[in-house]
């Protein structure tokens, strides 16, 4: 990495108590592991350091993420994975028990609601909560139901799984994400979203680290998005690292107020390992076992 007028690009000088990784754009992109990801996770686990995975993407449930990580050579217990499917389901059970919801969502979230016993309906006269999510089947019918439940019948509130504007794809492509659907509902109903449970909401951190007895200040959040991954770390007092393999750039990080910046900006994720240890392990950019 070329020199920059900041210490953001300096390698970490120590190992942390736990590591929370975003997945899309951080560990992998599409169906390919990103450089250094496998050997980093393997080395952290070898040293007994907790590794957890976190995602704002609600189009897969933790079992599907575990299957994908396994295909990529990173066997991971499902208990070490949390995403907005898990967090939204828990939030509804805790904050709107018994409420009837209309999920504008894909099958993993709908399945999770059904398994949790959350009542669902597409009848606007029965809906208490409209759940906006990343839904590639979003259409005018769903928008009309949300509009009627919120605006016409004046009974439903709006919540959302995540604030992401788009989901990144390889070769710089992407798909419109939950924020686009939330914005459409807000625009026609003139009703703001009550809560967005995904990153940067700190409840995502509770989902990731809740089984560990540790101070979040000793952990580090690793993710490619300033607006979600890094902002969550800032809000919770965690260290953070942003690999330049996804959405956000070094220039964007430098443009932020110093208090809002990531602790580290990395050209490759395995530079989370301190430089001295990286060289002691004999790692180079040319000897990375990707598979």
Strands of the chain, DSSP E? 18-22, 28-29, 32-33, 51-55, 81-83, 101-104, 129-132, 157-160, 166-168, 174-176, 195-196, 219-222, 239-243, 264-266
Question: Region 237-241: what's the mean pLDDT?
Answer: 94
| CATH H-level superfamily of 87-196 | HAD superfamily/HAD-like (3.40.50.1000)
pLDDT at 83 > cutoff 70:
yes
- What is the SS3 string spanning 179-248? HHHHHHHHHHHCCCCCEECCCCCCHHHHHHHCCCCCCHHHEEEECCCHHHHHHHHHHHCCEEEEECCCCC
pLDDT at 207 > cutoff 80:
yes
pTM score: 0.88
pLDDT at 224 > cutoff 90:
yes
Among 71-80, 113-122, 149-158, 282-291, the least confident range: 282-291
pLDDT at 17 > cutoff 60:
yes
Identical fold for domains 18-56+199-280 and 87-196, yes or no, is: yes
Give percent above pLDDT 90 in the chain.
81
pLDDT at 200 > cutoff 60:
yes
Average pLDDT, the chain: 93
- Residue 8: which of 186, 262, 226 has the closest Cα? 262
Question: Region 234-238: what's the mean pLDDT?
Answer: 93
pLDDT at 2 > cutoff 60:
no
What is the pLDDT, as a whole number, of residue 286?
A: 85
What is the pLDDT, as a whole number, of residue 142?
A: 98
pLDDT, tens only, 167-194: 877 777 889 999 999 999 999 999 999 9
For the chain, the structural domain boundaries read 18-56+199-280, 87-196
Confirm if 72 and 100 have CB atoms less than 8 A apart.
Answer: no
Question: Region 132-156: what's the mean pLDDT?
Answer: 98
pLDDT at 69 > cutoff 90:
yes
pLDDT, tens only, 54-64: 999 999 999 99
pLDDT at 290 > cutoff 70:
no
- In CATH, what number does 18-56+199-280 get? 3.40.50.1000
Q: Residue 96 — very low, low, confident or very high, per pLDDT cuts 50/70/90?
A: very high
Output the CA–CA distances (angstroms, integers) from residue 232 to 10, 229, 243, in the order listed. Answer: 21, 5, 16
pLDDT at 19 > cutoff 90:
yes
Question: Which has more pLDDT, 128 or 287?
Answer: 128
pLDDT, tens only, 128-142: 999 999 999 999 999
Q: Residue 90 in 3-state DSSP?
A: helix
Question: Which has more pLDDT, 138 or 4?
Answer: 138
Q: Residue 5 — very low, low, confident or very high, per pLDDT cuts 50/70/90?
A: very low
pLDDT at 1 > cutoff 80:
no
């Amino acid at each position: 990495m070329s020199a920059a007028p900041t210490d953001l690009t300096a390698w970490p000088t120590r190992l942390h108590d736990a590591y929370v990784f975003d997945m899309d754009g951080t560990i992998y992109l599409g169906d390919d592991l990103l450089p250094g990801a496998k050997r980093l996770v393997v080395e952290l686990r070898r040293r007994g350091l907790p590794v957890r995975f976190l995602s704002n993407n609600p189009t897969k449930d933790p079992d599907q993420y575990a299957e994908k990580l396994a295909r990529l050579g990173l066997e991971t217990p499902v208990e070490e994975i949390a995403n907005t499917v898990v967090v939204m389901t828990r939030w509804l059970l805790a904050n709107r028990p018994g409420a009837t919801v209309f999920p504008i969502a894909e099958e993993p979230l709908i399945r999770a609601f059904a398994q949790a016993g959350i009542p669902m309906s597409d009848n606007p006269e029965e809906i208490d909560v409209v759940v906006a999510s990343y839904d590639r089947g979003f259409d005018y019918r769903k928008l009309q139901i949300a509009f009627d439940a919120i605006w016409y019948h004046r009974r439903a509130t709006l919540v959302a799984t995540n604030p992401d504007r788009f989901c990144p794809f390889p070769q710089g492509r992407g798909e419109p994400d939950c924020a686009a659907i939330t914005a459409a509902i807000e625009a026609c109903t003139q009703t703001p979203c009550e809560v967005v449970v995904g990153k940067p909401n700190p409840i995502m951190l509770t989902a990731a680290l809740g089984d560990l007895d540790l101070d979040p200040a000793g952990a580090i959040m690793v993710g490619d998005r300033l607006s979600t991954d890094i902002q969550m770390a800032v809000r919770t007092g965690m260290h953070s690292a942003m690999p330049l393999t996804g959405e956000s750039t070094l220039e964007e990080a430098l443009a932020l107020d110093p208090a809002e910046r990531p602790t580290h900006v990395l050209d490759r994720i395995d530079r989370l390992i301190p430089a001295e240890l990286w060289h002691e392990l004999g790692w180079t950019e040319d000897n990375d076992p990707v598979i």
